[in-house]
Structure 1
Amino acid sequence: MVDPEKEKAMEEITFKSDTVLSDVHLNTPNKRHLMVRLNTVGQPVFLSQFKLLWNKVSCKDTHVKDKKQKDIQIENTVLDDRSIQESYGKNSNGIDFLNKNETQTCSSMRIEALLDNDGDLEVVRRPRLFSETKQKEPSRNKTHPKVLSQGAENRNEEQENIHHNMVKIEHTMATPLEDVGKQVWRGAFLLADYILFQCDLFKNCTVLELGAGTGIASIITATIAKTVYCTDVGEDLLTMCERNVALNRNLTATRGGAVKVKELDWLKDDLCTDPQVPFSWSEEEISDLYAHTTILMAADVFYDDDLTDALFKTLYRITHNLKNACTIYLSIEKRLNFTLRHLDITCEAYNHFRFSLNDLEKFRDGKMKFIVEPIEATFPQFLVYERIEQLELWKIVATPIS
């Protein structure tokens, strides 16, 4: 059971002005956030569900070669507590996706049909059913988040896991900058969208994610890949990540492979092999990592210049130790900030990221060649979020020089 004093503290949590809040959590309805516990540093931990827009048939079991089978279907879907008309389609692997162009066209046709002779909008309301008139109107009073005991969570886990179209993620909200990895960010959603769209590229692969945070991108990748090494630093963060892997084991076990949560510090040259250290590596895992990894990825981790430099050094070091050529996928959100130093709106973190990309492509050591190219974010969405134009995805092909 939850300690009464801790439960009271969880209900009285207020966010400070020096914290950072992800837009994913900001735009998620309150009823989707369920406070479940306090972590080891006293931060409230929430459990949120994110809907995956796919069929029950996984892409690895579907081989549709005829592109003419991409028929557009229009359905009414309730998202974020409001009725939104969405247009659904299917890619060549049979997975549902949001089609914004079809949505806008369909919505315009509906609006025109509702205009009278003077051009005024006539709203035709659906007649209320008798059963609806009996229902009590929802209360708009302020409510506190519900606190679950660990026992109740375990009892409901089996029943919840039957929903294969939901990813359940534990996360924090409004954290200091050093703890932003404990939140879910749009860059992870963009990367996940691409992985699900191009699932043939990830099928049966060994994948390494750097700076995985809550692990949502790794979890979705594991519905396709054979093995995903989900890495970050900090025992508290990695523990949360491991809990998320367990919460979504129904997805990875039935659709793909295994997720292994490990520590990988960009500021250190070697992987930790001390068995006394939580989330350390075994010699067998290190051997498997270097022998079979063909994909590396990182999502929305470029917000500090020193960490960006450390990440690119880590990418260079790991790719040189791999036995095979590999492809690297990096997602980033171009964030605009007004700085007193420039007295203007700048994107310093993004600019440093682009300089680092340029330096990597120009780097010559006679051992490895890096080819950098952007990926247009025109592929469909498999997760419900706002895909803004500032979101970017980059591809780096690392090939050994014979």
Structure 2
Amino acid sequence: MLETEVVLSEIHIDSDNVPIADDPLQASHASQAVRSRFRFNVPDKYVSEAADTLTLDEDGDIVVSRPDSTESYVIIDHFLATPLKSVGLQVWKGALLLSDFLLSEGDGVLGGKVVLELGGGIGLCSMMAAMFADTVYCTDRGDDVLYLCRKNIDQNDHLYDEDSKRKVRVRELDWTKEDPFVAGNGPWSWTSTDRGSIDKTDIIIAADVVYDNSLTDSFVGTLERLVKCSDQVVYVALERRVNFTLEDLDAASPAHCHFLGHLARLQENGWAVQRMDTEFPRGFRYTRDEYLELWKLSWPYASMKLEKVTPSCSSAT
């Protein structure tokens, strides 16, 4: 697929997309900037002020109410169909799967932890993680996506208390650079305090980052540089995309196959690699099918016996 080819996430087809007037990013993008409201269920054990509901007034501003309910909302500004190079400006199904996992695990996995999201896009997963974690770094590449991420975090105050809001830090992280944490003076630059926190990262999360082989190579290389001890855990959510290829004369998932090749190599090098069960509660509204996967990676290899990862380009795997 060419970088200029336009793609649209199926998540946005049936969403209540409300056009945003005078969006500062609109001039540099051909597709429409819109605002969507995503409903999700908060697990009963976490119901508190986070169970606020949201409505929009006639100007598109958020109106907060506080009924006694386990249902909440997140307001996301995003774009509709975008070129492949700008897919971070949309919401994809892998992000909803990972968000569901984070909500279902909550304090048990995230409590007191430092979380780093790679390829955070519009910021949904980082927002869910920040409901429980101590500190969250939401990272991506490019001013537009980082601006949109920060905007979304700021307009969802109802999810956090004031301390929690400050826990989400939006930073630029380019996987293709040898040292992606170069300090600077820009709004997305890394500080010396950030570097100290990153060295203590407990959990790395990523969703919908497997679609381009060269970027997958850089993503996995970044994981190998970041994961330095057995206490660190990586969660990667993805949607396996099946296409008919002339090379195979069959339906295949080449990007997924390429990623599995990396997982097999990591496993051979001592990493624990596990495809996780995705039967945890579904909080967001979407179709969870066999093409959605959640992987857990850690180093070094644990004593438990895990199924060996075998790369396959077949659509049946």
Q: Secondary structure at the match of 1:338?
A: strand
Which residue in 2 is equivalent to 1:240? 148
Which residue in 1 is equivalent to 2:241? 335
Which residue in 1 is equivalent to 2:17? 33
How has the CA–CA distance of structure 1 residues 396 and 161 changed in structure 2, closer, same or farther, with 3 Å as cutoff? farther
Which runs of 5 or more structure 2 residues have no equivalent in the other structure? 303-317
Which residue in 2 is equivalent to 1:275? 184
Q: Secondary structure at the match of 2:98?
A: helix
Superposed displacement of residue 267, structure 1:
0.3
- CA RMSD of superposed structures (Å): 2.6
Answering whether residue 223 of structure 2 is matched by residue 315 of structure 1, we say yes
Deviation readout 1:276-296 (Å, 9 max, x if unpaired): 3330100111111112x1100
8 Å contact from structure 1 (residues 38, 45) kept in 2 = no
Which residue in 2 is equivalent to 1:287? 196
8 Å contact from structure 1 (residues 325, 399) kept in 2 = no
Mapping 1:344-363, distance limit 5 Å: 344-363=250-269
Superposed displacement of residue 395, structure 1:
0.5
Superposed displacement of residue 318, structure 1:
0.8
Structure 1 counterpart of 2:10, one-letter code: D
Which residue in 2 is equivalent to 1:24? 11
Structure 1 segments (4+ residues) deviating >4 Å = 161-164, 254-257
Report how many aligned residue pairs link the two structures: 284
Superposed displacement of residue 310, structure 1:
0.4
Q: Secondary structure at the match of 1:165?
A: strand
After TM superposition, the score normalised by the length of structure 1 is 0.66
Q: Which of the numbers 170, 177, 184 marks the counterpart of 2:84?
A: 177
Which residue in 1 is equivalent to 2:34? 46
Q: Secondary structure at the match of 1:52?
A: strand
Q: Secondary structure at the match of 1:204?
A: coil
How has the CA–CA distance of structure 1 residues 18 and 306 changed in structure 2, closer, same or farther, with 3 Å as cutoff? closer
Mapping 1:2-401, distance limit 5 Å: 18-28=5-15, 32-36=16-20, 37=23, 39=25, 40-43=27-30, 44-54=32-42, 58=46, 152-153=59-60, 156-157=61-62, 159-160=63-64, 165-199=72-106, 200-253=108-161, 256=164, 258-291=167-200, 293-320=201-228, 325-363=231-269, 369-399=270-300
Structure 2 counterpart of 1:47, one-letter code: R
Structure 1 counterpart of 2:184, one-letter code: P
Whose radius of gyration is greater, 1 or 2?
1
How has the CA–CA distance of structure 1 residues 242 and 271 changed in structure 2, closer, same or farther, with 3 Å as cutoff? same
Identity of aligned residues (%): 34
How has the CA–CA distance of structure 1 residues 161 and 299 changed in structure 2, closer, same or farther, with 3 Å as cutoff? farther
8 Å contact from structure 2 (residues 272, 301) kept in 1 = no
Superposed displacement of residue 344, structure 1:
1.6
Q: C-alpha distance in 2, partners of 1:354/1:190?
A: 19
Superposed displacement of residue 187, structure 1:
0.2
Which residue in 1 is equivalent to 2:310? none
Which residue in 2 is equivalent to 1:135? none
Superposed displacement of residue 343, structure 1:
2.1
How has the CA–CA distance of structure 1 residues 400 and 337 changed in structure 2, closer, same or farther, with 3 Å as cutoff? closer
Superposed displacement of residue 376, structure 1:
1.1
8 Å contact from structure 2 (residues 35, 78) kept in 1 = yes
